[in-house]
Amino acid sequence: MRRIRACGILLMTRSSPRSFLLLRHDDRWDLPKGRVDGDESDLDCALREFEEETGIPRSSIALDPTFRYTEVYSPIRKKTGERDHKTLVIFLATVPDRLEITLTEHLGHEWVEWRPPHDIQANTINPLLAAVADHLSAIDG
């Protein structure tokens, strides 16, 4: 079983109405994320992938140091049918308002208004957004 570690960032606006960024693949919505390279840390991987996939420099975002979402699951590879062991780590970051996106690997993007609960993708996105909703509720009181 191949072991994969991937990291990414959920980007949210601080302006009202609050929204978050999703990137479009041909068959689903996803976050800016990708696989860890060599000895790269989870955060370094997330920041690198975020910059590569959105064109937004890391200096433009504010990371939330108190949020880190981890999910472990076993996806099946489309080409071989083999199962992988995947660990996904997602960090939370904010920007004042929606930024321009420069896509390099995706078909499109969307800023989705923050109105939990969300039903976007049952296996990864929905549990992440539920964890973010709990986190923000605890902060906002």
CATH number of the structural domain spanning residue 12? 3.90.79.10
Q: Which domain holds residue 83?
A: 3-140
* CA atoms of 45 and 125, how far apart (whole Å): 19
Three-state DSSP at 136 gives: helix
Q: Under 8 Å CB-to-CB from 9, ≥6 apart: which residues?
A: 31, 32, 33, 46, 47, 49, 50, 61, 63, 90, 91, 92, 93
From 49, 51, 52, 105, the catalytic residue: 49
Domain count within the chain = 1
Q: Is 40 a catalytic residue?
A: no
**Taking the model in full, what pTM does it have?**
0.92
Tell me the per-residue pLDDT of 93-134, one tens digit each, with 9 for 90 and over: 999 999 999 988 888 999 999 999 999 998 889 999 999 999
Residue that has been written with the tokens 């957004």 in this structure? 129
pLDDT of residue 141: 66
Q: Which two tokens stand for residue 133?
A: 């909703």
Question: pLDDT tens-digit profile of 58-75?
Answer: 999 999 999 999 999 888
Mean per-residue pLDDT of the chain: 93
Give the pLDDT of residue 118.
Answer: 92
Could you tell me the pLDDT band of residue 44, with boundaries at 50, 70 and 90?
Answer: very high
Is the pLDDT at 16 greater than 80? The verdict is yes
Count Cβ neighbours within 10 Å for each residue of 27-59 and write b for 16 or more, e otherwise: eebbbbbbebeeeeebeebbbbbbbebbebeee
Q: Euclidean distance between the first and final Cα of the chain, in Å?
A: 43
> For residue 1, what pLDDT is reported?
79
